[in-house]
Each structure stands twice: as C-alpha cells, then as structure tokens.
Structure 1
Amino acid sequence: MSGDGVGHEGKHHAPAPPRSNPEDGGLRRCSRIPFDCKWDPLRGSCPGCGHLECSDLFGAMGTRGARGMGAEMRRLASSPSLRSIPQLRKDRSTPNFVSRSRGRFSLPLRPHFIPSPIPAGGRCKICQGRFRVLECSLPMASERVHRLLLSYEGSAFKGWQIQGTDPTVQLALEQAVETIWGRRIPVHGSGRTDSGVHALGQVATFTAPPKLADLARLRSALNNNLPDAVRVLRCTLAPDSFHARFSATGKEYRYRIHNHEIMPPFELGRAWHIPRPLDTEAMRKAAAHLLGTHDFASFASNPGYARTTTVRTITRAEVKASGPRVELTFRGDGFLYRMVRNLAGALVKVGHHRITPEDFAAILQACRRTAAPNTASACGLYLAKVFYSSR
C-alpha cells in the first residue's frame, strides 16, 4: 500500500486541513503522514495506517533522546518520500532538530511515528514521551476474504458451531481473530462437525482488512492464539466471491475403525473400536451400491430443520484394511446430517454378517431412517477434504 499523502505535489506550502471523503465512508483524511506505512489496526493505532504519533518534539527530547535518534533522523532525511513533502504545521511541531552530539539537521522537525502495537496513552520507547493517534492520510484498507485450511482434534470441542460459551472450533477461531484484529469478526466453515468429530482439511473464511503482508506470519499469529487441539495449516487470500460453505462443490470424509480385540490407549477418541473381526470384502460389495445419485433419506438423521432434498451424488465409496485398521472413504457433492456415521454403522453390520450387501441396497432404496441400523461413534469420523471449483 502506498503511503503517499493527500496533496503532496512537491510544493512547499502548509497542508490543507483535514477533510472528509464520502467515498471513504466519511473518514477524515490528513496530509501529515510523511512516509510509507502498512495497515495494522491494533489497539490505539490509526485505523488506516496503524501508526501512532508521539506528541513530544524531537527538540524536547534532551541530549539522551537526541543521541538515540541520530540514525533515525538521517534515515528519514534521506527518504525519497520526504523530499517532496511540504513542511508540516507552522506550530511548535516544526522547529529544526538540534543534537548536541551531531549538530543541526536540515530536516524540519516532524512528529516521529511509532509502529503499533504500543497502545495509545503509553510511553514512546524513543523519547519516553506520551503519544496520541494521528489521523491517517491513507484510505481505509479494503476488506479481503481470508481462507484458512484447518485441522483439529474433535474430542476437545463441542463441535464446530458456536454454542454459547461451550468450547467449539468456531468460537476458538473467532476469539483468535478478535485478538489480532481488535474486533469480533464472524468465521464461517465449510460445514458443521459434531462433538468428537475430527478434521484433517476443514476450510474456513472470514472477511477483514489485510493484516500482515506475509500470510505465513498471520498463520503463526493465529496458531499462537488458538488451543493446541486446532491448527491453521495454511492461510491465503481468496476472491471476494469465495465462501467456505457456499463455494464448496464436494467433500471427502474418512471413517476409521480399529478392528482388534485390544484397543491401543493412544487410539482412544481417534477410531471406533470394533473387537469382533469384520468381513471387509462384504463391506466393499455393499459400499459399491452407494456410487451414483440416490435418495439417502435412510441414512440421514433428523437435523432439526426442514431439508429441501435428501438426494446426493457419491463418487467414491471405498473400504480399505491394513492390519487392524479399517478405513472407510466417502466422497460426494454433499452429505446429510450424520450421513457418514450412519453409513459406517450399516457397513459394520454387513461386516458382521448381520445384514447382506443386498440388504444394504434395500435399506438405501427404502428411503426411511428406521430401516437402517444405528449410528456409528463420532470419534472415528474425519473431514478429510473440501473441494472447490478451479475457476
């Protein structure tokens, strides 16, 4: 972002008084910021450029402060952005800077600018003077859509969606964003996950002015303010039309089963323990009936609201076994409430020969939830991927 002030054409005259620009929502604009700055709206900082102005004069700093500012003054004096800027206010803020150790500088005195996050009312680290917020010469930064790729361990949360003060993933994210931006900003996920359900590749979005040019630093800042059970894997800027939920074209879920008499302690909460052996070949035959477009009403629990349709298209339904681990993978254009867990519960019945693959197909065709077996445990379910159009 450019830090060029308003009305700086190189003529040495007093700047125009602050004025409002209707296009900026009435934000008062000022031509007094003398060098480039980046938008960084932390507490007490300028809402446009994120800098704080020390209200003390360079000349009033005394010998100790003057010596410490010699290098900074030389840097400012050599800055190309200062050479064509008119002398600032004709008041006590513009005498020449005098240093007993280095003599007189030719640069007229200007208030020096302290980058945030020093809060307003604190002490300037350079001159020990108190500082105040300076009106910004830059327009407010435009808001951008921030896209987050998330992974979380679901047993630490009461699901995704905010539920009062209960620990949820959405609440944790919004609190982390609020800590960084200084205000509450809604965070939207690609979909809700129940309590105990995990995510390997959940996607979330929020809209806010750009905070850090280096998005890797923003990712680190978010992770530093999040519980250990949730991590931001990647942070990018997305087009304004992008939405984590409404832009999604499909999802992939995985369901993990530990099929052994003994459940390892470190697998608790991360897989469904099924001690009796499973016939995975029969489970594969049953899963093949899911491919294509079907009405999945038999495998949809009541979400508590009216659904427009229970028809979904499944493009992948696999059963893989490796030692005691059995993993079910489902990919489709969308999933109904608890649909994957209900499918997993029915496939386990097939694996135990309680129902046949043909019975499984008949349950699908019945389109009645009462026709299907019980729901599988939440601990084995993982949201693996969310798919979006490449456009």
Structure 2
Amino acid sequence: MPRYALKVEYDGTGLAGWQRQADQPSVQGAVEAALARLEPRDHTIAAAGRTDAGVHARGQVAHCDMEKDWDPFRLSEALNHHLKPARVAIRDCARVEDDWHARFSARERRYLFRLLTRRAPCTMEAGQVWRVNHRLDVDAMRAGAAHLIGHHDFTTFRSSICQAASPVKTLDSLEIDAVETDAGTEIQFRLAARSFLHNQVRSFVGTLERVGAGSWHPDQVRDALEARDRAACGPVCPPQGLYLMSVGYPDDPFAAK
C-alpha cells in the first residue's frame, strides 16, 4: 500500500484536538472521513504530534496508507474537496517510503505562541491569541526563558497526565519578541525541540507571563525548574494562541517536489 505524507493546517477552534473522538469533531476524524470518501474503508492515520483542543497548526504532518497509487497533488486536492467545510486543509502531499512515520521519523517540532496585550476584548483575533490586559516586560521574560534552554528534567512543566516515558527533554530554543500589529502589541514565543511533553509549551508561556507581569522574578523560573514538582509551575495558559508551525525530518518529504 503506497504511503503518503500530508502537511496539515487547521484552526483548532471548536475541535477536540488532533485525536479522533467518538462524539466530538477532531482533526484526525475529519481527515480519516475524507480518506474514506476516496477509498471506502476504515482509515487510521498517524501524526507528528497530538495537539490539544483549541490548538492550531500551520504545519502538522501526518501519514496515510492508500490502496490506489495516487498522484500526490491529486490526493491533496481530493482530500481538500471532501474536508469542506471543516477547518482543516491539506497544504502539501508527498509519496514516502513504506517505513516512514510522521511521528517516529521526526527530528524537530517548532511551535509558536501568540499573546496579545491590550485592554479591549478580541474580536477578529478571538480564538487565535491569548489576550492579557496588561503590559509585559519582554526582557524579563527572556531572562526567565534562558533558564529553560538546554537538557533538563521538565517535570515541573508537564501535565500530570503526560504519558511520556521520561520528563527529560532538550529545549533547543525559546525566542520571545514583541511585534506591533494593528490589533495591538503581540508577544510571540517561538520554541524548538525534538519533542515536547504534554502541556509543556503552555506551562512555559503561562509561567513566563507571570515574569513579564512582575509577579515572578526571572530567577524563579530556574527555581521552579529545579524543584521538579508540578506544584511549582506557574499558571498553564489557555490553548488559544498555540500553533504547531512545522515538523522537521532528516529528509524533508516535501522538499524534493
């Protein structure tokens, strides 16, 4: 059965997350239903990461196995036709080797978190950003974030229901920038690592927001990390504003096109 890599974009608003749910709309469920319209049978696809409810993606990657030898462009076009009106789209499609795996072949994940600082409620950005109604000290947040870079035990910053075998991960980068937009000042957090723990990014951002607001000293992030205790974590921010931007592979399946 030919295997295909799919680059998937979605607006997580109103979706139960990536993983298929029996009674709620999900990204996996939408794509598998579209596949069943092309080849009527049960389909099971795998993704690079199982994003939570409300989380978005610009470059999620999944793979599927088909019976027919589809032209990748035709497959993506057909899937997008049947995904309407779901908030899910196939941005790209490529034929891959039979042992290629969207999750296990991945070597890097990159996330973006968008935090909008303004007093007024969001209208056009509702569901796309986390709004806070106070100013944030970006330099202080950068100082706090510096304690998180590198190879650490991130027990403090992972969900109590995280299923990862180990809390030890390497955070390759965590960049924080203030961007002036028509909607207001947007604080953008860009993170990269081979893999992330459940709720790790949202735990980082929620904690760093407290630093930016002046409630935490930047060195308290180091203290929280070293505590290796979930109770030492700051607030976990909401999923709105979190985007899986890209997934990296040793050989990018989409680059050779």
Normalised TM-score (structure 1): 0.62
Whichever of the two has the greater Rg, that structure is 1
Partner of 1:309: 166
- RMSD after superposition: 1.3
Mark the runs of 5 or more structure 1 residues left unpaired by the alignment: 1-142
Identity of aligned residues (%): 34
Partner of 2:76: 219
Matched, 1:345 2:206: yes
Task: Report the Cα distance in structure 2 between the residues aligned to 1:365 and 1:304, rounded to whole angstroms.
Answer: 19
User: How many angstroms does 1:327 deviate by?
Assistant: 0.5
The counterpart of 1:262, out of the listed 113, 120, 124, is 120
User: How many angstroms does 1:385 deviate by?
Assistant: 0.9
Task: Report the Cα distance in structure 1 between the residues aligned to 2:68 and 2:179, rounded to whole angstroms.
Answer: 45
User: Larger relative contact order (C-alpha < 8 A, sep ≥ 6)?
Assistant: 2
Matched, 1:331 2:188: no
Aligned residue for 1:266, secondary structure, equals coil
Aligned residue for 2:147, secondary structure, equals helix
For 1:80-159, list aligned pairs within 5 A: 143-159=1-17
For 1:164-175, list aligned pairs within 5 A: 164-175=22-33
The counterpart of 1:204, out of the listed 56, 62, 65, is 62
Deviation by residue 1:112-150 (Cα, 9 ceiling, x = unmatched): xxxxxxxxxxxxxxxxxxxxxxxxxxxxxxx11110001
Aligned residue for 2:118, secondary structure, equals coil
User: How many angstroms does 1:246 deviate by?
Assistant: 1.0
User: How many angstroms does 1:293 deviate by?
Assistant: 0.4
**CA separation of 1:316 and 1:304: change in aligned 2, threshold 3 A:** closer
Task: Report the Cα distance in structure 2 between the residues aligned to 1:204 and 1:184, rounded to whole angstroms.
Answer: 16
Task: Report the Cα distance in structure 2 between the residues aligned to 1:153 and 1:326, rounded to whole angstroms.
Answer: 20
Matched, 1:374 2:232: no
Aligned residue for 1:370, secondary structure, equals helix
- Following TM superposition, the consecutive aligned residue runs of length 4 or more in structure 1 with deviations greater than 4 angstroms are none
**CA separation of 1:390 and 1:304: change in aligned 2, threshold 3 A:** closer
Task: Give aligned pairs, total.
Answer: 247
Task: Report the Cα distance in structure 1 between the residues aligned to 2:122 and 2:159, rounded to whole angstroms.
Answer: 31
Q: Which amino acid is 2:192 matched to?
A: R
For 1:178-327, list aligned pairs within 5 A: 178-213=36-71, 215-226=72-83, 227-303=85-161, 305=163, 307-323=164-180, 324-327=185-188
Deviation by residue 1:315-340 (Cα, 9 ceiling, x = unmatched): 11110101211100110111101000
Normalised TM-score (structure 2): 0.93
Deviation by residue 1:4-32 (Cα, 9 ceiling, x = unmatched): xxxxxxxxxxxxxxxxxxxxxxxxxxxxx
User: How many angstroms does 1:304 deviate by?
Assistant: 5.8
Q: Which amino acid is 1:279 matched to?
A: D
Kept in 2, the 8 Å contact 1:156–1:229? The answer is: no
Q: Which amino acid is 1:260 matched to?
A: R
Mark the runs of 5 or more structure 2 residues left unpaired by the alignment: 253-257
